[in-house]
A and B are shown apart, each in its own frame.
Chain A
Amino acid sequence: MENREVRLGGFGGQGVILAGMILGRAKSIFEDKYATLTQDFGPEARGGAASCAVILSDDPILYPNVFNPDVLLAMSQGALDKYIDGLQKGGTLVIEEDLVKVGDIDPSIKVFACPATRFAEEIGRKIVLNIVMYGFLVAVSGLVSEEIARKGVEASIPSGTEKLNFAAFEKGYQYGIEQKEKLG
């Protein structure tokens, strides 16, 4: 049985929750396994911060909370600072390279950085930075396969935006594969 836990955090408007939704949708609907997504509500979700957690499993999920994920995606410094202590030893940290600085962290943690906002701007629209980041996350973490991940994107975007979103996904995914090879 495989059980992976991911925390995604950033600023409101970056689309981190949508990235989490796409991941959960990919796993539960297109891989036909199980995913549970929980969000922070209330005062902790105000002030510009946005965060969600996704559990991906081959078996039905009972306990829905995530305190010690094995993957943390931080798209803002605030998200990194808030959630880094919860990341498991040997876990994977994925950051937006231009927005997040990693300080002293456990040496067992593998860090992958992607300039997703810059890539999104190059593709043509900054709004797809979450899809770039999602592609990158999937490539470095192997949470779901490329094919499944792409189906998740396809099912989650407004029609007419496929070209833009697939380009964003492709860019993030390819960069992720490169970075993964580079870092061994």
Chain B
Amino acid sequence: MKADPKRVLSGNHFINGNHSATEGAIAAGCTFAAGYPITPSTEIVERIASRFPRVGGMFVQMEDEIASSICLQGGVWSGRKAMTVTSGPGMSLMMEHVGLAQITETPCVFINVQRAGPSTGLPTKTAQADMMQAKWGSHGDYEAIALSPSSPQECFDYTIDCFNLAEEYRMPVFLMSDEMTGHMTEKVVIPPADEIELVERQFYTGSDKYLPYKREANGIPLMSKAGLGHHYHITGLTHDERGYPVLTKPVQEKMMTGLMKKVGDNVDKLTRYEEFMMEDADIALVSYGISFRMAYKAMEMAREKGIKVGLLRMITCWPFPEKPIRELAQKVKSMIMVELNYGQMFLEMDRFSNKYCETDLCGSSGGEVHEPEEILTKILEAAKK
């Protein structure tokens, strides 16, 4: 289905990443948002509050992040596309309900405009230190989908992708933005509505009794919504196809297999990445989000010195692009992860590559983006080995 022209601000804009992400959500058909403003994501809820009423949407400023992250799920079960927006401290509070969205298979989008932590940390400064939280922050096993934008343009594009993935896989999806990307202003081209492809929710239309967790051939159960006349039950407890709690190992195993396989069986389809100058590279930088831009700059600087460096940029951080990383590790002599933390995605990269090549981290405490020279120093060290 195509986007609704009334909801798409087609044209060329000079706006920041947060505003751009908001326009992405509106274009994607999001009509419900609940949130509790927090720096550096506040511009998103500001724009939501201003724009939603004009495009048939509703925004609720809740009393805190815990309430926001459950409120949005109520919105989803009433049939709307919904999201919430926050930063690290708020994300920590929302973690209980990320788990709820996982087990209840509630399609929704969480935008995390990351700032440096732990705790309240540096509210106005950038970091990429919530990457592991996106995968492991709520208790229990689950798979995650997370996309990392590096520019205001990508904030628009990837927010739409997040909504599409949420609907396709019936699960929460993360946009892992950061303070720099959110606050930076650049040109954003919003295409005509008929060039924006949307995935719409699949509702149960049969005449038999509706089973909210009966998996279709593609592994995804069909949804209902309040008012369609179905009686069903949604719970955070382990449940059977009817949605009722059944607290036994066989039911747990069946439910978990379904949850894990819907992403696990589609990793290749979900994995998105870009490669640059990799043809002759013997050192590979790996990066994502805002750090990708500094890594690219450092790659150019190293190439000028005649060092054969390439770059793999992850668009999806979760599921982790295991296959391209493993293949790359067998081609190069050294891989360096560039990220604004003490080595989160590095751990993932390392476990798939250290059997084949040297691995190193160009990390950061957060607070500022990398100086390209810092990355260049790591490249030069790797080149000497």
Residues of A whose CB lies within 8 Å of any CB of B are 21, 24-25, 28-29, 34-39, 41-43, 61-65
Contact = CB atoms under 8 A, between A and B. Distances in A.
Nearest to A42: B124
B185 A37 contact: yes
Interface residues of B, number: 23
A36 B185 contact: yes
A37 B183 CA distance: 9
B368 A62 contact: no
A35 B372 contact: no
Contact of A64 (B12, B124, B184, B300): B184
The residue in A34, A35, A37, A43 that gathers the most chain B C-beta atoms within 10 A of its C-beta is A37
B58 to A, nearest CB: 28
A34 B293 CA distance: 15
User: Considering residues A35, A39, A41, A43, which has the most beta carbons from chain B within 10 angstroms of its beta carbon?
Assistant: A41
A37 B186 contact: yes
Contact of A21 (B14, B124, B297): B14
Contacts of B294: 62-63
Contacts of A38: 180, 183-185
Interface in B284-298: 293-294, 296-297
A41 B185 contact: no
Interface in B170-221: 179-180, 183-187
Contacts of B123: 42
Contact of B14 (A29, A43, A63, A64): A29
A61 B151 CA distance: 10
Given A28-B14, A63-B297, A64-B293, A42 B184 contact: no
A29 B297 contact: no
B369 interface: yes
Nearest to B297: A62
A38 B293 CA distance: 15
Nearest to B12: A29
B225 interface: no
B184 A63 contact: no
Interface in B347-369: 368-369
B40 interface: yes
A156 to B, nearest CB: 9
Contacts of A64: 180, 184, 293, 369
Contact of A35 (B40, B183, B186, B293): B186
Contacts of B184: 36-38, 64
Nearest 6 interchain pairs by C-beta: A42-B124, A28-B187, A25-B14, A37-B185, A41-B124, A62-B297
B187 to A, nearest CB: 4
B366 to A, nearest CB: 14
B9 to A, nearest CB: 14
B331 interface: no
Contact of B296 (A42, A62, A65): A62
Contact of B187 (A34, A39, A65): A34
A41 B39 CA distance: 10
16 contacts: A21-B185, A24-B186, A29-B13, A35-B14, A36-B185, A37-B14, A38-B180, A38-B183, A38-B185, A39-B183, A39-B185, A41-B40, A62-B293, A62-B300, A64-B180, A64-B369
A11 B122 CA distance: 24
